[in-house]
Amino acid sequence: MKTAIRLSLLAAVALALGSCGSMQSQQSGMSFFVSSVGSGKGADLGGLEGADRHCQSLAKAAGSGGRTWRAYLSTTGTPGYPGVDARDRIGRGPWQNAKGVVVASNLDQLHGANNLTKETALNERGELVNGRTDKPNMHDILTGSTRDGRAITGSEDSTCSNWTTSGAGAAMLGHHDRQGLRDDDASKSWNSSHLSRPTKEGAPGCSQAALQGTGGNGLFYCFAAN
């Protein structure tokens, strides 16, 4: 009887270790995730460099730090400095989540008929990110981009001063769960749905309070560029 119990316990431990090893293997091959946390300072990410470091740090903590991670963010051009397109920062694909599911095979598919949904746009730990039907809603993802992954032109701020401010301004946001208030293309866009806006209480549009007020938490997409 005791021998049978020991064998059962050993089998359970082996199964658990096997599952853990399988998950670690999947995460080592991970090349896409939604950041589990933002900067905590709204859309002030420390510029593209700070956002990339954040992606790299989260990936490393999840066991996938041996790759070059980039934030999917565009910047607008300033005098002497051209704008940066998010699509040009993230490599050529394919990209898969922490559970090994491919979300897009290449840039064209990523910006077309991709496999990004609430169920596949996981964080670096392989966890679901709260969507529109969850509390709190965190489906607004920072991108600063058009639907084809390029910088937005015009005089209106769409990148919170190129990801350097938590004050006045605005950031273009996408919906990782592909849901919104209406059943239209903007609501279903993963990378270009609507701009952030100030709260009724007066918190500026790039602040953490403003991002949370429209259904976000200052999260952004991270892709392995190699």
Residue 12 placed within a domain: no
The CATH number of the domain holding residue 71 is: 3.10.100.10
User: What tokens were used for 71?
Assistant: 């934030």
| Count of structural domains, the chain | 1
User: What tokens were used for 151?
Assistant: 């910088």
110: pLDDT strictly greater than 70:
yes
Contacts of 156 (CB under 8 A, 6+ apart): 170, 195
* 178: nearest Cα among 125, 138, 118: 118
Residue 24 placed within a domain: no
pTM score, whole prediction: 0.88
Q: What is the pLDDT of residues 138-174, one digit of tens each?
A: 999 999 999 999 999 988 999 999 999 999 999 999 9
Q: Collapsing DSSP states into helix, strand and coil, what is residue 70?
A: strand
Residue 26 placed within a domain: no
User: Are 188 and 197 a contacting pair, CB within 8 Å?
Assistant: no
Residue 155 placed within a domain: yes
d(CA 83, CA 76): 4
Mean pLDDT of 8-24: 44
Range of the domain at 210: 34-224
Contacts of 218 (CB under 8 A, 6+ apart): 38, 39, 40, 41, 42, 43, 142, 208, 211
14: pLDDT strictly greater than 80:
no
Strands (E), 95-197: 95-96, 102-104, 140-142, 172-175, 194-195
